[in-house]
Amino acid sequence: MSNILIHISGSISAYKACSLASALKKQGHEVQCTATKGALHFIGPASIEGITGRPLLTDVFAGGETGYIPHISLSQQWADLILVYPASANVINRLAAGLSDDLFGAIFLANNFNKPLRIAPAMNSQMLLHPATQESLKKLEGWGCSILPSDEGLMACGTKGPGRLLEPLDVAARIEEFL
């Protein structure tokens, strides 16, 4: 089927990336995951690696002496679709600023929208509605990213409103429709 790169950012909803990766694998896709250091506070590499059968990548310099350059090979050759799930306010704002001092920032710039890139926001309502985040989402969409809607409801912080991460099976169905 397809090669899908999932970037996991530091959000309490990072655990849902495990369910999404599992659903995509069951559909016959190959899944590679990258993660921020913040994501590793919420999920462990063993969970993702056990589901995908691939190492969880976190370091832009992971190729070392092998000559493997993950931000180039993943974004330009391997991935058929790139998905940020969940996309924290930090990741959204960093991408919109063009920062590439971590693995996914470098993947984002190296891809340059040659492969479809989807972003699934997940954060507290006030963070989502903040002008900086809203402007960043508009900028990213204008550049060619597809922004998935967030759900509304009760969040981990106890508030209700927009910003809940779309459920894994909903995202898997959207990916299947797109592909």
Identity of residue 172? A
CA pair distance 59, 82, nearest whole angstrom: 17
Active-site hit among 18, 33, 145, 157: 157
**Is 18 noted as a catalytic residue in this protein?**
no
Do 22 and 51 meet the contact criterion of CB atoms below 8 Å apart? yes
Do 33 and 17 meet the contact criterion of CB atoms below 8 Å apart? yes
* 135 torsion bin: left (phi>0), alpha (psi -120 to 50), beta (else): alpha
Do 8 and 33 meet the contact criterion of CB atoms below 8 Å apart? yes
Do 86 and 120 meet the contact criterion of CB atoms below 8 Å apart? yes
- Token representation of residue 39: 């994501």
Q: For residue 13, count CB atoms less than 10 angstroms from its CB and return exposed for 0-12, middle for 13-18, buried for 19 or more.
A: buried
Active site residues: 157
